[in-house]
Amino acid sequence: MKKTIGTGIIGFGLSGKVFHAPFLHISQGFEIKKIVEQHEKESQLIYPYIDVVEDYKELLNDAEIELIVVCTPNTLHFQMVSDCLKAGKHVVVEKPFTPTSKEADELIKLAKSLDRKIFVYQNRRWDGDFLTIKKVLKTGVLGNIQEYEAHFDRFKPEVNSLAWREFPIPGAGILYDLGSHLIDQALHLFGKPISVKANIQSQREGGEADDYFKLILNYKSLNVILSAGMLVEGIGPRFVIHGVLGSYVKFGIDPQEENLRTGRMPEGEDWGSENPENWGMITIDYQDLNIDGSIETEPGNYMGFYDNVFDVLRNDGDMSVKTKEARNVIRLIELAFESSRTDKAIEIDF
C-alpha cells in the first residue's frame, strides 16, 4: 500500500485556499494531485506541481486520487460527497456536513456500505483556546461547571450581496456557518443536551439569511449559551465558563486563520501560538486562597485534523470527528430553527 495519500480538492475559495491546501501541501502524508477551479488557476501559482481542472469528475476518474476534499457551497455537499463515495474515494467535506440531517444520514449509510470514510472538517476543535478549555475542564480546577458561554461575533454591518452564505438558501446563514463550530465544540465537551431554546434573526438591513443567533442548550445541571452576530462592534469575551469553584474568561480568537489568510504556511515552532495578552484569565477559590491569574493558551493546531485523517486511513486509527457527531450538529441546528419559529424549547431527539 502506498503510504502517501493522493488527494484532490474541489474548490479554491477561502476554504480550499486557506484551510485545506496549505496543510495538505506541508504534510508528508498527502500529495495534492489536482484542484478544481472553474474560472481561475490561482492554485497553480501557489502549488505549481498540481494540475488544475474545471470538472470535479476528473478527480473521480483519477486512480491516483484516494481522498477528495469538498470545499464547495453547502448546497453542493450532498451530491458531491455521494459522487465521490460512489467513485471509491474517501472524502473530507467542509462543515457544515450537509444542509439537512436526512442528507447526512444518507451519506453515512452510503459510506458504510462502500467501506469509505467521511471526515467533516470541524477544525475549531484544534483552536488553541478550545484545546486549553479541554485541559482546564479535565483538571477539575473550576469544580462542577454551571454555565458555559461561547461567542463567535463579528462586525460586518453591510450585507455582501455576492456571497452565497447571504442568500436565503438551505445551509446558508450564520447558524450553519459559525454556529456549527460552537455547537460541535459544546457537544464534544458536554454531550447531548436535554433541549434547545433559540432566537435566530436577520438583523442587518437588506439581509435575507440569518445573521444573529443565541442558543441555550439545557443540561441537567448546566446551561450552555452559544451566540454569534454580525453587528457586534465592541467584541466581548470569546468564552466564559463558571464553575462552583471559579471562573475562566477568554478574549481573542485563535491566530491560525489570520496567519493562513496572509499566505503563511502552517509551520515553524511558533505556529498557533497566541499573544500572551490574549491568554485566558482564571479566578478560583482554593483552600481559603483566592487565586486570580492567566492561563497560557495551548498552541492551535489545525494540522491535527489531517494528522487524524492520515492515521485513520493508514493505521486504522480512531476518527476524531465522527460522522455521527457531525450529523448531530446539523440536527441540532434544525431543532434550533424550530425553536426560534415557535418560541419554545425543543427537546433534543438524537
State residue 1's pLDDT score. 54
State residue 40's pLDDT score. 82
| Model pTM score | 0.96
Which residues are within 8 A (CB) of 58 and not within 5 positions of it... i.e. 6 or more apart?
34, 36
Candidate CATH numbers 3.30.300.30, 3.30.360.10, 2.30.30.40, 1.10.540.10; the one for domain 124-303+331-347: 3.30.360.10
Place of cell 491535527: 304
Tell me the one-letter amino acid at 161: S
User: From the DSSP assignment, how many helices (H) and strands (E) are in the chain?
Assistant: 12, 15
Residues of the chain with CATH 3.40.50.720: 5-121
Over residues 289-344, the pLDDT tens digits come to: 788 999 999 999 999 999 999 999 999 999 999 999 999 999 999 999 999 999 99
Q: How many CA atoms lie within 13 A of 210 on its CB side?
A: 24
CA atoms of 192 and 190, how far apart (whole Å) = 7
Do 280 and 132 meet the contact criterion of CB atoms below 8 Å apart? yes
* Pairing mode, strands 51-53 and 30-36: parallel
Taking each helix axis from N to C end, the angle separating 101-114 and 323-342, rounded to the nearest 10 degrees, works out to: 170
Candidate CATH numbers 3.40.50.300, 3.40.50.720, 3.10.20.30, 3.40.50.2300; the one for domain 5-121: 3.40.50.720
CA atoms of 204 and 208, how far apart (whole Å) = 9
State residue 15's pLDDT score. 96
Residues of the chain with CATH 3.30.360.10: 124-303+331-347
Q: What parts of the chain have a pLDDT lower than 70?
A: 1
How far lies 344's CA from each of 19, 192, 202, 212, in Å? 37, 18, 19, 18
State residue 161's pLDDT score. 85
Place of cell 436526512: 102
State residue 38's pLDDT score. 85
Which residues are within 8 A (CB) of 109 and not within 5 positions of it... i.e. 6 or more apart?
none
